[in-house]
Amino acid sequence: MENSTIPISNSQLAFTVLLVLITGSISSVLRLGLLKPLIWGTVRTFVQLTLVGYALTYIFKINNIWLIILIVTVMCYIASKTAAGRTPNVPDHPLVLSFLSLMASTYLVGSVVTLLIISPDPWYSARIVIPIFGMILGNSMNGIALSLDRLYSEARTRSAEIETLLTLGATPWEAIRDSVKEAVRAGMTPTINSLMVVGLVSLPGMMTGQILGGADPREAVRYQIVVMLMITAAVAICCLIMVGLSHKKLFNRDGALQPFVLQSRK
């Protein structure tokens, strides 16, 4: 029993719905308007994860490298589309840049972790690659959304300062550099905060899952350290690429701020 996963029956799984019903009841009493989103989110969670479970079982059996690459690429596209909806300060979200940034950081960091650290046999094992790349994508997606939103917000807030610097002869990069720093810092802050409190305030999902599955806690800790550091590296790379490329869109060909930035100074 100590070295195996404790199975959860369908009836036991159904009891988890009670947690949502309790939350929904509180929402209804307080008129928070959260009942419908909670119910819809619960239904989607059950359906999506159930389908993913069956799909992964099939994919793990096939274990084809081209299928794995296709799946990861599609995941990158979905993540870039999702990030687009989380940037209210960006008038025209650069979907292509988001996609390329996520692809670059995910494949770079994921390949290093898979090939050099975990080293499964075969090296492209779907059971290892898909979860690892998925964790990288989920965190990188949040990182670029935060950093890109902050970049545009900072540019609007500091538009007068940026224009003054440009007037005094500064290059667009020199004028926007402080905003870029703040944008990257914003994207990295949640990840750095997690590094500071991991193990003290929270036990991360991967570590908890391994322990519940019967793994030695010391081995689970090793895997969690790898996961935390790989996520940190991936988020940093992704934010740097995204902000580094996106800040140029704030300026026109003459090196002046775009009109949508100046309109914020009303």
For the chain, the domains span 1-62, 65-265
Rounded average pLDDT over 41-68: 90
Q: Is the pLDDT of residue 235 over 90?
A: yes
Highest mean pLDDT: which range of 21-25, 31-35, 68-72, 206-210? 68-72
Residue 147 has pLDDT above 50, yes or no: yes
Alpha helices for the chain (secondary structure H)? 10-30, 35-62, 65-84, 95-112, 126-157, 159-167, 172-197, 205-212, 217-246, 259-262
pLDDT at 38: 85
pLDDT tier at 95 (50, 70, 90 boundaries)?
A: confident
Torsion 232-235-238-243 (CA) sign: negative
Q: Which structure tokens are listed for 178?
A: 């402080």
Q: Say which range, 40-49, 115-124, 160-169, 253-262, has the weakest mean pLDDT.
A: 253-262
Mean per-residue pLDDT, 165-190: 90
Q: Is the pLDDT of residue 234 over 90?
A: yes
Mean pLDDT for all residues in the chain: 85
